[in-house]
Amino acid sequence: MTEAPRPKLLRTLTGEAFERPPVWFMRQAGRSLPEYRELRTRAKDFLAFCYDPEMAAEATLQPMRRFPFDAAIVFADILLIPQALGQEVWFEAGEGPRLGPLPEVAALAGEIEASTGRLASIGETLSRVRSALEPERALIGFAGAPWTVATYMIEGRGSDRSGARAFAYSQPERLDQILEVLVEATARYLVLQARSGAQVLKLFESWAEGLAEDVFQRVVVKPHQEIIRRVRAAGVDAPFIGFPRGAGALVDIYADAVPVQAVGLDTQASLAQGRRIQAGGKAIQGALDNLLLREGGSAMDARIDALIEGWSPGPYIFNLGHGVLPDTPVAHIERAVRRITGK
């Protein structure tokens, strides 16, 4: 019997470097694809879509049929955790997420155990996708990181996060308690995902920008360390990708302190910064500007070549600096992926 080929993405996460890096794109499933928009009309609302394993598995697989991506990312959302912990969450069409009043910490803590059960259908989505996906393509599970999720829970919507950053100073103990609830619920959720077929676990810290170094340590570094510790304690050895988007120079602190296998870099990361992280023994992922993907053309080709030339001597996963924008032409995604993979 021949052994199934080990996905290139997983090999990169254990330190191998390739002339052509493995590639996937954040938000590769979603509104840039006409077949997603069609599927979306069949769901009552976006959250119902996420909780429906058949539809969510289909949305996860749609970009895998179109493009030679090395990995699929499960179709779900970072705001499923606050909902599973009992805070009301809904999406206003064309505007984004809205959340009801922030529950008391004791109420949130009382829901931790039940929250994992409420997220069981995401495990079902993962196992469906894993059995449909070719063995050489990896499956990524994810969760929002505690600080980013807390910003939505505190502010009640997408925002400039100044309210949440002020909360970190005005109610430090309460914030730490909320983060502790999120650490535990998130660790359990990631364990569920790994046991259901996720081979890589990604923490989306989408709002790491604008934090003072001491606050960054407290609300980003510590919770990430603690989640990974608890996931490992449960016997899960899947590699982690941590993405502290907007952290700027603090990315170096993150890369040194958090035991992830790869650090996601955003659009502003320098080639030198990426190489430093690789030299420190971690893979990196990123960081093509999603606006450049949308605009396409020879400027995009040139930047793709520069990123590969700059970073592929070390372990590197090609990705964007942030998610695919909804109005990105499919032809530009095709062109980019062809340029990266040579396929």
Residues with a known catalytic role:
27, 31, 40, 77, 152
**Helix ranges, 208-257 (H):** 213-216, 222-233, 251-257
* Contact with ligand CP3 (CB under 6 A) among 206, 261, 273, 328: 206
Q: Which residues pair with 204 in a beta bridge?
A: 144, 243
23/278 with CB nearer ligand CP3: 23
User: What are the Cα distances from residue 207, in Å, to 76, 149, 230?
Assistant: 18, 9, 23
158 binds ligand CP3 (CB under 6 A): yes
29 binds ligand CP3 (CB under 6 A): yes
* Contact with ligand CP3 (CB under 6 A) among 9, 73, 265, 317: 73
Smallest distance from ligand CP3 to CB 30, Å: 3
Binding range to ligand CP3, per CB under 6 A, among 74-82, 102-110, 174-182, 208-216: 74-82
Tokens of 100: 């009801």
* Contact with ligand CP3 (CB under 6 A) among 30, 53, 223, 286: 30
204 binds ligand CP3 (CB under 6 A): yes
Given a contact cutoff of 8 angstroms between Cβ atoms, the answer to whether 198 and 148 are in contact is: no
Task: For tokens 């039940």, name the residue.
Answer: 114
CA 34 to chain CA mean position, Å: 23
Smallest distance from ligand CP3 to CB 3, Å: 29
Residues 86-125 close enough to bind ligand CP3 by CB under 6 A:
96-97
Binding range to ligand CP3, per CB under 6 A, among 25-33, 211-219, 252-260, 308-316: 25-33
Binding range to ligand CP3, per CB under 6 A, among 27-35, 181-189, 264-272, 332-340: 27-35
Given a contact cutoff of 8 angstroms between Cβ atoms, the answer to whether 13 and 315 are in contact is: yes
Give me the amino acid identity at 274.
G
What contacts 223, CB < 8 A, 6 or more positions away?
Answer: 145, 146, 147, 179, 182, 183
From first CA to last CA, the distance across the chain in angstroms is 28
CA distance 131 to 109: 34
48/212 with CB nearer ligand CP3: 48
28/261 with CB nearer ligand CP3: 28
161/339 with CB nearer ligand CP3: 161
31 binds ligand CP3 (CB under 6 A): yes
Binding range to ligand CP3, per CB under 6 A, among 24-32, 131-139, 168-176, 217-225: 24-32
31/303 with CB nearer ligand CP3: 31
What contacts 33, CB < 8 A, 6 or more positions away?
Answer: 62, 63, 66, 330
Tokens of 104: 């008391």
23/73 with CB nearer ligand CP3: 73
Smallest distance from ligand CP3 to CB 180, Å: 21
Given a contact cutoff of 8 angstroms between Cβ atoms, the answer to whether 269 and 303 are in contact is: no
Tokens of 232: 């490992």
Tokens of 140: 């990524």
Task: For tokens 């259901």, name the residue.
Answer: 196
Residues at the contact surface with ligand CP3, assessed by CB under 6 A: 26-31, 40, 46, 73, 75, 77-79, 96-97, 142, 158, 204, 206, 323
